[in-house]
Amino acid sequence: MAHLANIRQSGDGALKGVPFFHDLTSGEIEAFNRMVVKKHYSREEVVLFEEDTANYMYIILSGKVRVVQMGTEGKERILAIHKRGDYFGELALFDGKTSPATVIAMEESYIGLLSKNDFDGLVFKNDNYYSLLPHSVLVCANHG
């Protein structure tokens, strides 16, 4: 719980270290940070099911998660492991496509969720934010 208190008190600290936001000013990051919903996940709790619509970007604020696909026999195939400062689902902010994997907390974790609706409301209505997004993300979004 002490770690969560630090995240809440740090202002833009929750997103400041996330590379996706690295070109934004502290004020711009704070605008996004106000939109992030921080959720707690217990060990082995599912964060995102494979069939769920990916309407969020997920930012690991603390803890660790594994990204898996379930085999036909119910066996997990680990695709990736994300830890504090990592993020996933960012392309869903642009294309709204579903995630091809299930994400499960490997330990107690706090994850920030940034919704596509909130993201769109800030970015696509404000040229300043749009121009600061990483070029690679914009290229992927336009070709998705």
Domain boundaries, the chain: 2-143
Number of neighbours of residue 36 by Cβ within 10 angstroms: 20
pTM for the model: 0.74
> Does 2-143 carry CATH code 3.30.70.20?
no
Residue 107 is encoded by which pair of tokens? Answer: 């330990």
**Would you say 81 and 106 are in contact if contact means Cβ atoms under 8 Å apart?**
yes
Per-residue model confidence as pLDDT tens digits over 17-44: 677 777 777 787 788 788 888 999 999 9
Q: Of 18-27, 69-78, 124-133, which gets the smallest average pLDDT?
A: 124-133
**Would you say 8 and 38 are in contact if contact means Cβ atoms under 8 Å apart?**
yes
Per-residue model confidence as pLDDT tens digits over 78-126: 999 999 988 888 777 776 666 678 999 999 999 988 888 887 777 776 6
